[in-house]
Amino acid sequence: MKRVALLGSTGSIGEQTLDIAGRFPDRYRVTGLAAGRQVEKLAEQVRRFRPEVVSVADDEGARELRQRLAGDPAPEIHVGDAGLTAVATCDADLLVSALVGAVGLDPTLAAIEAGRDVALANKEVLVMAGALVLRAVRARGVALLPVDSEHNAIFQALAGQRLEDVERIILTASGGPFRTWSAERIARARIEDALKHPNWDMGPKITVDSATLMNKGLEVIEARWLFEVSPDQVDVVVHPQSIVHSLVEFVDGSVLAQLGLPDMRVPIAVALAHPERLPLPLERLDLAALARLDFEEPDRARFPCLDLAFEALRGGEDAPAVLNAANEVSVAAFLAGEIPFPAIAAVNGDVLSSHLARNGGSAMNELDDARAADAWARVRAGEALEKHRGRHA
Ligand SMILES: NC(=O)c1ccc[n+]([C@@H]2O[C@H](COP(=O)([O-])OP(=O)(O)OC[C@H]3O[C@@H](n4cnc5c(N)ncnc54)[C@H](OP(=O)(O)O)[C@@H]3O)[C@@H](O)[C@H]2O)c1
């Protein structure tokens, strides 16, 4: 029986993780659940999975949860950042880290330091502090299992291979909802347009990141740390059908890919069951019915966020944390209707350039370096937003 704790249980990845765990009650026992504000959904999950420890965003949420669970055996209820860490370090073999954004960094690191294996969906953790996370993973000898479908595909393609034989990692990108839109049309994109992903049903932040291609940029950074490759060894190719989830090219020219229908429950199951596989009764890939797979170069002019990620990777260990924080601020402003879609890339670019001009890129030696880069970038992004605020169509 594998004991599993889950951060972000009410989100898209969180619910799909519980879907898998719930299908195999003889294999998985859910011991901890952390959510933010969706208390009603969390209460249902608590009734179904009976975790020992749970966490919500604040005291009001904790009160509501207690009321909703009245009459049921109540778990330990924690709140806020300390609550996330309590769940991350509760009695478990594996933490599924599926919060969104920088808030996931501290609890995920705490779990690693407490010796838990981690299934990582919350890519911002590696983007912010890849060097620190990898150091902690090595020091504690825990497994870091990628849930992101692209990295999970690479993880599968690398099974039994030596990292030193890898020449190139090729991340596939759907291209998002604006792949075929002109720059002029993208400039007028509405919030609901950006939230219409062609292939995946995901939380709002990653869906907007997919529309700007910032998501692929964050994944480039994530791949650099997970697979210990240089930025020059990571390529991106647009593949609108999202069937080939990513590829690895080896020094002899062989290319291994992982394919499947776009369903996040597959990579989640791979991470939950590693090194075994779970029998999942999901729809199967029918190549003849599909008939064709298309690939094209990403358009770096219409989607400048992709190159910002490469720039950040080459700009010192703290530059990705700066880019990540700027992006969290600009995406939140876009989703609040405060800035037009192209201002996301403009704000991200402004903040990254001023960071690189300021210090030329520094090493990340401790968590405070990541926190400082993050905090500086949020202030600077707030200033950059002022230039664009109110121009939303
Ligand atoms: N969704 C996908 O298919 C997918 C695919 C690949 C990678 N990822 C990555 O996986 C991560 C999660 O994505 P998602 O799409 O599942 O996001 P989501 O649907 O927005 O869910 C986010 C989860 O985090 C919780 N949360 C957010 N801020 C919190 C805070 N301050 N305190 C406590 N809980 C908080 C939310 O709680 P409440 O809702 O209760 O407030 C929710 O449970 C992201 O890093 C994303 O890039 C997602």
Q: Which pLDDT band, with edges at 50, 70 and 90, does 363 fall under?
A: confident
Instruction: Say what the pLDDT of residue 389 is.
Output: 81
Q: Judge if the beta carbon of residue 10 lies within 6 A of ligand 1.
A: yes
Least confident of 268-277, 335-344, 358-367, 370-379: 358-367
Q: Judge if the beta carbon of residue 269 lies within 6 A of ligand 1.
A: no
Q: Judge if the beta carbon of residue 121 lies within 6 A of ligand 1.
A: yes
Domain assignment present for residue 293? The answer is no
**pLDDT higher than threshold 60 for residue 6:** yes
What average pLDDT score do residues 324-340 get? 97
Task: Check: CB of residue 6 under 8 Å from CB of residue 93.
Answer: no
Kindly report the CATH number assigned to the domain that includes residue 66: 3.40.50.720
Average pLDDT, the chain: 96
What average pLDDT score do residues 51-58 get? 98
Best residue for ligand 1 mutational test, from 6, 7, 10, 13 (most atoms within 8 Å of Cβ):
13
Give pLDDT tens digits for 99-110: 999 999 999 999
* CA 41 / ligand 1 centre spacing (Å): 14
Of all residues in the chain, the percent with pLDDT exceeding 70 is 98
Instruction: Say what the pLDDT of residue 263 is.
Output: 97
Element (H, E) at 80: helix 80-88
Instruction: Say what the pLDDT of residue 77 is.
Output: 98
Of all residues in the chain, the percent with pLDDT exceeding 90 is 93
Q: Judge if the beta carbon of residue 106 lies within 6 A of ligand 1.
A: no
Check: pTM over 0.95? Answer yes or no: yes
Choosing from 98, 121, 146, the residue where a domain stops is 146
Cis peptide before 267 (omega within 30 of 0): no
**pLDDT higher than threshold 80 for residue 286:** yes
What average pLDDT score do residues 112-131 get? 97
Q: Judge if the beta carbon of residue 105 lies within 6 A of ligand 1.
A: no
**pLDDT higher than threshold 90 for residue 198:** no
Instruction: Say what the pLDDT of residue 116 is.
Output: 98
Greatest alpha-carbon span in the chain:
63
Count of domains forming the chain: 2
Q: Judge if the beta carbon of residue 43 lies within 6 A of ligand 1.
A: no
Q: Judge if the beta carbon of residue 11 lies within 6 A of ligand 1.
A: yes
* CA 121 / ligand 1 centre spacing (Å): 9
Choosing from 93, 116, 146, the residue where a domain stops is 146
Domain assignment present for residue 304? The answer is no
**pLDDT higher than threshold 70 for residue 151:** yes
Domain assignment present for residue 382? The answer is yes
Domain assignment present for residue 78? The answer is yes
Distances from the Cα of 283 to the Cα of 14, 204, 219, angstroms:
21, 25, 27
**Which contacts of 307-310 are long-range, i.e. CB under 8 A and separated by 24 or more positions?**
307/217, 308/214, 308/217, 308/345, 308/348, 308/349, 308/352, 309/214, 309/216, 309/217, 309/218, 309/220, 309/221, 310/217, 310/220, 310/231
Q: Which atom of ligand 1 is nearest to the CA of 148?
A: 6
Choosing from 130, 146, 162, the residue where a domain stops is 146
The residue segments making up the domain with residue 349 are: 315-393
Give pLDDT tens digits for 173-187: 999 999 999 999 999
* CA 7 / ligand 1 centre spacing (Å): 9
Domain assignment present for residue 103? The answer is yes
Q: Which atom of ligand 1 is nearest to the CA of 42?
A: 40
Kindly report the CATH number assigned to the domain that includes residue 321: 1.10.1740.10
Domain assignment present for residue 366? The answer is yes
Residues 6+ apart with CB under 8 A from 62: 56, 77, 78, 79
Q: How far apart are CA 30 and CA 83, in angstroms?
A: 16
Residues 6+ apart with CB under 8 A from 386: none
Q: Which atom of ligand 1 is nearest to the CA of 125?
A: 45
What average pLDDT score do residues 71-84 get? 94
What average pLDDT score do residues 357-374 get? 87
What average pLDDT score do residues 26-55 get? 98
What average pLDDT score do residues 337-350 get? 97
Best residue for ligand 1 mutational test, from 118, 174, 202, 215 (most atoms within 8 Å of Cβ):
202
**pLDDT higher than threshold 70 for residue 361:** no
* CA 108 / ligand 1 centre spacing (Å): 14
3-state SS assignment for residue 258: strand
Instruction: Say what the pLDDT of residue 388 is.
Output: 84
Best residue for ligand 1 mutational test, from 19, 95, 206 (most atoms within 8 Å of Cβ):
206
Domain assignment present for residue 176? The answer is no
Domain assignment present for residue 32? The answer is yes
Q: Which atom of ligand 1 is nearest to the CA of 8?
A: 43
**pLDDT higher than threshold 80 for residue 335:** yes
**pLDDT higher than threshold 60 for residue 393:** no
